[in-house]
Amino acid sequence: MTINQNTIIKDDNPLIRQKSLPVSLPLCNEDAQLLRDLFQYVKDSTDPEKAEKENLRAAVGISAIQVGIPKQLTAVVVNDIDNDGNDLHYEYMLANPRIISSSVQKSYLENGEGCLSVIDEHEGFVVRSARVKIQAYDLLTDKNVTIRARGYFAIVLQHEIDHFKGILFYDYINSKDPFAKVPGAIVI
């Protein structure tokens, strides 16, 4: 499947609000190929040459519903730096990811979130859990995985899993006070 700015559905398409269903495991060829295509999109989107040539907008994650397929499949590629300045790299091709626990402590990105399916600016804090524990099948390693995520990576995973519920990041922005400080929250 060709995935680019033209084939990614936007939030003016009601499909983006549709609930995604779990897939059967082991993955059928069609689902596995879709997951690989999603992953490839995210990888290529941060390569300036490919992005330009193939009309890709830079992303750290994409979910199947964003190409109009309501299945619980998502690909993420996240680079971050820990408190000691070490590089962190996470990449997954996830089927049926479930949040099995989440911290009471909150966190949000200082500059807000973005989404391949959202063109308009939506400014404001998107408050999420600071840490989440997720179980999923990961096609990249062909294993069932338990992911303990924190920081930016935890935000990305929650954003992608929200796509399965038809939720977009700006649904969480406090319309009366978009930049309301959240006591105790970690600002990223």
Binding residues for Co ion, per CB under 5 A? 115
Joined tokens for residue 87: 């590089």
172, 89, 57, 166 alpha-carbon torsion, rounded to 10°: -30
Q: Max alpha carbon distance in the chain (Å)?
A: 47
Whether 160 sits among the annotated catalytic residues: the reply is: yes
Residue 162 CB, shortest distance to Co ion, in Å, is 8
Check: CB of residue 25 under 8 Å from CB of residue 135. no
Q: Active site residue: 91, 113, 121, 160, which one?
A: 160
Residue 14 CB, shortest distance to Co ion, in Å, is 16
Q: Which is nearer to Co ion, 167 or 185 (CB)?
A: 167
Number of H helices, E strands in the chain: 3, 8
Residue 64 CB, shortest distance to Co ion, in Å, is 12
Q: Which is nearer to Co ion, 115 or 173 (CB)?
A: 115
Kindly tell me the burial class for residue 110, based on how many C-beta atoms sit within 10 Å of its own C-beta (0-12, 13-18, 19 or more): exposed
Q: Which is nearer to Co ion, 10 or 50 (CB)?
A: 10
Catalytically active residues are: 160
